[in-house]
Amino acid sequence: MITLAAGCLVFELANGESIPFSADMISVEVMGDTARSLDPEFVHHAATAVFHYYKDELCRHSVTVAEFSASLEKVLRGFKLQTPGVSPPESELQVRESDLDRLARESVGGELFFFPLLRDELRAHLRQSPRMVRFSGLRGCVKQLTGARRWTGRCRHLEEQIVGYLRECLSAETPETEFALVVE
């Protein structure tokens, strides 16, 4: 038996055939009026995110094309994309943003003070009932907190801790609603 490459996921087609794909090999074709308003690179990034969700979060080795398509559609609908030239009203945007690098600078005591500050920042955003909260600057934040110049195993571990902590805080703070948390 041939083993599957580490970065691949087996896609099960409707006809019963199975084909292994890596995240980079995924090509998505969007049909209808929506296709004109979607940036192909944006769709590719969304498809890659869905791929990693099945592969890394759910630890799945295979997925049906129907499952993958439904998940990708749900992700794309979650962004409530507008047609070009038409800007949505400010009330519909409902995106709150924070800079993790700034939070790391503000937490003078390092990790000990960083995590409560991060929780308070998330809570402040959630009080405004946004559709999405975006935390950017994760890599710089981690390097600053660890005091590292280069990315190390300790950096990777702290990065995973921060993302996990945000997920835990989010699940404790919000009921099951349509909400997106983006950490980059």
pLDDT digits (tens, 9 = 90+) for 39-56: 777 778 888 888 888 888
pTM: 0.52
Last residue of a domain, one of 78, 109, 132: 78
Pair of tokens at residue 97: 């943003």
Q: Both 49 and 103 in a single domain?
A: no
Q: Both 101 and 50 in a single domain?
A: no
Q: Both 111 and 55 in a single domain?
A: no
- Specify which residues 95 forms β-bridges with: 132
Q: Both 72 and 151 in a single domain?
A: no
pLDDT in tens, 76-114: 777 655 545 545 554 445 788 999 999 999 987 788 899
145: amino acid identity, one letter: L
Give the per-residue pLDDT at 115.
94
Angle among Cα 17, 23, 27 to the nearest 5 degrees reads 70
Q: How far apart are CA 161 and CA 136, in angstroms?
A: 15
Q: Identify whether the C-beta of residue 50 lies closer than 8 Å to the C-beta of residue 28.
A: no
Q: What is the mean pLDDT of residues 140-167?
A: 92
**Beta strands of 100-140 (E only): which ranges?**
132-136
Q: What is the mean pLDDT of residues 19-26?
A: 80
Whole-number percent of the chain with pLDDT over 90: 27
Q: Identify whether the C-beta of residue 107 lies closer than 8 Å to the C-beta of residue 99.
A: no
Domain count of the fold of the chain:
2
